[in-house]
Amino acid sequence: MANVAVVGAQWGDEGKGKIVDWLSERADVVVRFQGGHNAGHTLQIDNQTFKLSLLPSGVVRQDKLSIIGNGVVIDPWALFEEIERVEKQGLVVGPDNLLIAENATLILPLHTELDQAREKLRGKDKIGTTGRGIGPAYEDKVARRAIRVCDLGDEATLAHKLDMLLQHHDALRKGMDMPPVDRDALLQSLTEIAPRLMAHAEPVWRRLADLRRRGRRILFEGAQAHFLDVDHGTYPFVTSSNTVGGQAAVGSGIGPGAVEYVLGITKAYTTRVGAGPFPTEQDNDTGKKLGERGHEFGTVTGRPRRCGWFDAVMVRQAIKIGGIDGIALTKLDVLDGIMPLKVCVGYRYNGVILDHLPAAQQVQAGVEPIYENLEGWDESTQGARSWADLPATCIKYVRRIEELIEAPVALLSTSPEREDTILVTDPFAD
């Protein structure tokens, strides 16, 4: 059976939580491989709603092993709060079912403070971060000054590395009229949480190698989405990590051959949170209708999402770059009764027709979508669980999307309920 990586193919919020949960029932291990607690997944299990940010979606199934990989940046205090929240809902989260890579980077309060201060200083040019310290933590990681989980195991090492870190941050804060970090208080806070966090820590690469050798099914869970990728997204309006399928291997500590199927999650329309280009955005009644029907508010931030038509050019690009083998098309039911439907099939920029979204910021901001009108449907698709439950025009819409994005639809989702899913191709099949 194949190991599967689940990634977003748009700007996030595509419904990865439900799809990962649907797949995790058949997996043995669920691994988070990038991002932090800036991305939220909402799962509905047995009439209970779980809102996860940092915990892998596998924690809602007590017989699964969940792993936070080395590619994730971890705010330990946020992690503990999240664990306590889901435990109040009846889950048990401990070292037996949650492992953390010992070489994962920590998000500290100084990262959160810096993130928020920078956004405030940017004013109208703000990127639209969640202000949770993810970007500054990744900066320290690549600059080789970060505090990692394993550093909590030795107080002398931790104190020395913290001093090195503060040489940079205190100078930076001084230039922004921020007070220096209270070094002793931060060291004490880290020392206090060390035993609890270290109880989950291990070289997870070794555990994954053993699990793979024994034929266990591994599900790699991404956060955010392709066009928030720091290299391939709508830069600079992106996250601070690589979000594409290739990162599943690097961010988990396993060889790329272990990721045998990449499933891209894609809404039947398009949404985006925060600033940045959005060629098919509908800042009108259509966009408002999509937002209301789709309950388009951020899981973590509560911010309303910008809404627009399906962008086949963008999704096709994500498929080519990210090695996506098939897509899960979600929120199909939101389009019920909207006629006609529009799909972006190309862009026009300064009179030139484009078949992709270029990297240049000014082009991304200035492209005009070229639409193809497709017939809508009056019937309800909500809760459909087979092709036979779908109107003929709905099936034609799905088939046309497959042609335009040059990839098959492997799964269809017709409501937030996990069982309201149509399986077309099994991603786990070898």
- Token pair 């997204």 is found at 233
Rounded-to-10 torsion of CA 248, 252, 254, 256: 10
Instruction: For residue 386, give Cα distances in angstroms to 19, 62, 424.
Output: 16, 29, 9
Write the CB contacts of 266 (distance below 8 Å, at least 6 apart in sequence).
Answer: 8, 9, 10, 14, 315, 327, 328, 329, 330, 405
Strand pairing category for 409-413 and 421-423? antiparallel
Beta strands in 33-93 (DSSP E): 41-45, 48-52, 65-68, 73-74
Helix ranges restricted to H, 323-427: 361-366, 392-405
Instruction: For residue 13, give Cα distances in angstroms to 72, 299, 300, 353.
Output: 18, 8, 11, 29
Q: Are 284 and 242 in contact (CB under 8 A)?
A: no
Q: Catalytic one among 13, 333, 336, 420? A: 13
Catalytic annotation present for 200: no
Q: Catalytic one among 37, 41, 169, 226? A: 41
Closest CA to 226 of 122, 335, 134, 327: 327
- Token pair 């940017």 is found at 122
- Residue 66, classed as helix, strand or coil, is strand
Read off φ and ψ for residue 3, nearest 5 degrees: -90, 140
Q: How many residues does the chain have?
A: 430
Catalytic annotation present for 13: yes
Cα separation, 394 vs 403, in Å, equals 14
Euclidean distance between the first and the last CA atom of the chain, given in angstroms as a whole number: 5
Q: Which residues are catalytic?
A: 13, 41
